[in-house]
Amino acid sequence: MTDIRNKEEFEKALNHSRIQVMMFTAFWCPDCMYIKPFLPEIEEEFNDLQFYSLNRDQCMDIALEYEVMGIPSFICFKDGKEISRFVSTLRKTKEEIEAFLSQTIESEKELC
């Protein structure tokens, strides 16, 4: 997972043709720390996607632009456009994240 530290890095990441998964997180967030141990497994399983991590507190301008208030939040982009998001107030499980990513991939295949 690549860390994004500012708007310039964020915009550069959006210039790829693959699906980008942006995970908004924070160091103080217990739900973010809960999912951290299984994120490498998810990245390996979905190796055709590009994964990025944004610290919401350090990238507040991006979080505000995309209306990300709750964390962790996942927003998927393709060709610079948002194609899906997974935001909830409940703790996310590995299975829920995998289901979200699978659904995002399937939706994109249907559009092609």
**Secondary structure, 3-state, the chain:** CEEECCHHHHHHHCCCCCCEEEEEECCCCHHHHHHHHHHHHHHHHCCCCEEEEEECCCCHHHHHHCCCCCCCEEEEEECCEEEEEECCCCCCCHHHHHHHHHHHHHHHHHHC
CATH architecture of 2-111: 3-Layer(aba) Sandwich (3.40)
User: Which pLDDT score is estimated for 112?
Assistant: 58
**Residues acting as catalytic residues:** 29, 32
pTM for the whole structure = 0.91
Model pLDDT for residues 21-52, shown as the tens digit of each residue: 999 999 999 999 999 999 999 999 999 999 99
- pLDDT at residue 8 in the model: 95
In the chain, where the domains are located: 2-111
